Amino acid sequence: MLAILGFLMIIVFMILIMTGRLTAMIALIVVPITFAVIGGFGSEMGPMMLDGIKSVAPTGIMILFAILFFGILIDAGVFDPIIKTILRLVKGDPVKIAIGTAVLALFISLDGDGTTTYMITISAFLPLYKRIGMRPIVLAGIAVSASGVMNLLPWGGPTARVMTALNLEMSEVFTPVIPAMIGGAIFVLFMAFTFGRQERKRIGIIEYDYEAAAQSAATVEDDYLKRPKLIIFNYTLTIVLLVALIMELLPPVALFMLGFAIAITVNYPKLKDQKERVANYADNALSVVSMVFAAGIFTGILSGTSMVDAMANSVIHYIPDAMGSHFAVVTAILSAPFTFFMSNDAFYYGVLPLLAKAGAVYGIDPALIGRASLLGMPVHLLSPLVPSTYLLVGMVGEDFGTLQRIFLKWAFGSTIVMIIVCVVLGIFPL
């Protein structure tokens, strides 16, 4: 009964946001509460909701200060040279612009943090997309697709969870799937090329004065905010922050808070300017962070009612015995919907050990199951439970449901490509 209730809740939620009947934030709050009441959990909802909110609080605070940190750097003109260089290289060709977007997003995703990837990629490319008339949703889709592939990096989160849950080493889990990541990255470039051709067919190649455009394509129009004399300092601060994130010197939320404090103090030492800069990003920050806490209510009820466990067990129970020898591939395929409908923690700490035990019955090494479980990440990032994706759609001014409707099939494509690479190269057996 719980499994049926959980699946119905997910289906209703997806229908409501993909048809535009409710905004994602309202649906994240209303739908789980409604189904919790239907399931007889009305008196227990409060603690569940609070637990969910507490679980996403660090992420919400990190995103808040990441928005403020990169907002300060954008205002200071840090990304203007990048935009100028891109304009000179890609000129007005949508195909080159789309591929350039993918290359930049793949490169920046090396830090393993989707928030950083989106902040930098969107800041660099959105003015260019708007200038020549390309759809911002294409920019968002390429960025999330690139991040989905690169999220397999050990410091990205999922791989670390696999190693912890199954007590494995990085050499057993991550190193073997590097070829699959390369295959996924090539697929992302192909996707960018495809959308670039569509945009070129729609708007053509835009001819204009590239030098003049490069000078005027800044991410903010207010020249008085720019700090060209501090550009070396700002680049250094950004690099130090990214290195600290990768090395995990401090928790991400603490690093972004510290980075923001340094950036705003050095670039805008006057209190009046500091208040103005914070106020400038208040709307964007509020909309994104409120979405994160709404997602906390959804995950809190989903986990607190044990719907997640019931859904996982029901799916595993109905896997035919004939599929036992193919259990690694089954796990890879299941990882896409599982990580779409539940948090990474719920899947990797709750479901993966069950899958590993089931695979062991058929003689499948847990390391192979662990590798396979990572391949659903491109689909996972389009889940309504991923906070950073709300930041992405907020930055480009698009609707979450539209992003899912256009790019969910491409995300599954990335997963399928990585599975094929793994099977062909023997990373796990067919």
Contact 234, 226 (CB under 8 A): no
74 vs 229: CA distance, rounded Å: 14
- At residue 217, the pLDDT reads 45
Q: Is the pTM of this model over 0.85?
A: no
User: How many domains does one find in the chain?
Assistant: 1
Across the range 284-303, mean pLDDT stands at: 78
Does the pLDDT value for residue 421 go beyond 90?
yes
430 in any annotated domain: no
Across the range 237-250, mean pLDDT stands at: 81
Tokens of 100: 């350039």
Tokens of 412: 């599954």
Comparison of pLDDT for 167 and 256, the residue scoring more: 256
- At residue 323, the pLDDT reads 73
140 in any annotated domain: yes
**CB-count exposure of residue 18 (10 Å: 0-12, 13-18, 19+):** middle
12 in any annotated domain: yes
Q: Over pLDDT 90: what percentage of the chain?
A: 18
pLDDT band for position 222 (cuts 50, 70, 90):
low
Radius of gyration of the chain (CA): 22
119 in any annotated domain: yes
Q: Provide the domain limits for residue 401.
A: 1-425
Contact 274, 264 (CB under 8 A): yes
Interhelix angle 114-132/80-90, nearest 10 degrees = 50
50 vs 16: CA distance, rounded Å: 24
64 vs 290: CA distance, rounded Å: 10
CA distances from 398 to 12, 138, 139, 317, 392 (A): 22, 10, 10, 39, 9
333 in any annotated domain: yes
How do residues 173-207 score in pLDDT, each as one tens digit?
Answer: 888 888 999 999 999 999 999 999 999 998 887 76
